[in-house]
Amino acid sequence: MWGKYLALGDSFSEGLSDPYPDGTYRGWADRTAEKLAISDSEFKYANLAVRGRKMNRIINEQIPLAMEMKPDLVTIAAGVNDALRRNWDPVNVIKLYEHGISQLRRSGAHVLVVAFGDPENRGQLAGVRERLRFLNHETIKLAAKYDCSVVDFWPERGFDHDLFWSDDRLHLSSIGHQFAAKAALHALGLADDSWRRPEIELPPDPNWAARRISDARWLKEHMAPWALRRLQGRSSGDHLQPKRPDFAPIGFNPESFNE
């Protein structure tokens, strides 16, 4: 159906925190590519997503490269890093997003956009919930306007459990990425909607003491470094290059077909 798939965006599409054995990241986009490659030996995949990227860099740096690369399928997920900043400018963010999506559609590529989920039930990012609600709403409107496929995580409660999230409480775990890939395939018409109701045995919730220990570790190992980078005007993606900047076959991974 598609021969050249390109993923754009930030850490979500880069694949944090879903490591390969060598320490690089896999993520839902890689997992989606692995599935798409089953029926086409000539299928190629590239990923320009870089952690920490805000909307302006995604649109002004990744979109021009995408236009040169001429993919026939593009996934794009963007905007959360903007919502986390004090200088959040929602009108400009959506204006940029529309500009990027419209260019991709005019190129003839099929586009799948990701509308991010509601943080309320997890307690993480609750302070920017209304920003994320706005981003979700406008993303869905853009998808309808430009006839894009869309994954809307906002109403879904299946990802609320800690099992689906990494220790930093911001990025999906390997299991979370597994089900996000299933969501993408469903949006593309290639899978059912069972991703909405993950059939997986959930571990018991930690007791009060274990939760407080976990909270303290999170503050020290994740929240404090993140806050320090914000104060210093740095990003986790500074000086990083995309992990798959050129189209290439995606390696066969037997495990992906048993998940």
Sheet holding 110-115, edge to edge: 149-152, 110-115, 73-77, 4-9, 44-47, 244-248
For position 257, what pLDDT does the model report?
44
For position 123, what pLDDT does the model report?
65
For position 54, what pLDDT does the model report?
96
pLDDT tens for each residue of 121-146 = 776 666 899 999 999 999 999 999 99
Task: Give 230's pLDDT tier (boundaries 50, 70, 90).
Answer: low
Contacts of 242 (CB under 8 A, 6+ apart): 46, 47, 48, 49, 50
For position 23, what pLDDT does the model report?
86
More confident residue, 84 or 67: 67
**In this model, does residue 214 exceed pLDDT 60?**
yes
Mean pLDDT of the chain, nearest integer: 90
pLDDT tens for each residue of 2-27 = 999 999 999 999 999 899 988 899 99
90-106 vs 129-145: helix axis angle to the nearest 10? 30
Domain ranges of the chain: 4-198
CATH number for the domain running over 4-198: 3.40.50.1110
pLDDT tens for each residue of 43-64 = 999 999 999 999 999 999 999 9
* Euclidean distance between the first and the last CA atom of the chain, given in angstroms as a whole number: 22
- Which whole number is the average pLDDT over 200-225? 74
Task: Give 253's pLDDT tier (boundaries 50, 70, 90).
Answer: low
Cβ-contact 74, 111 below 8 angstroms: yes
**In this model, does residue 169 exceed pLDDT 80?**
no
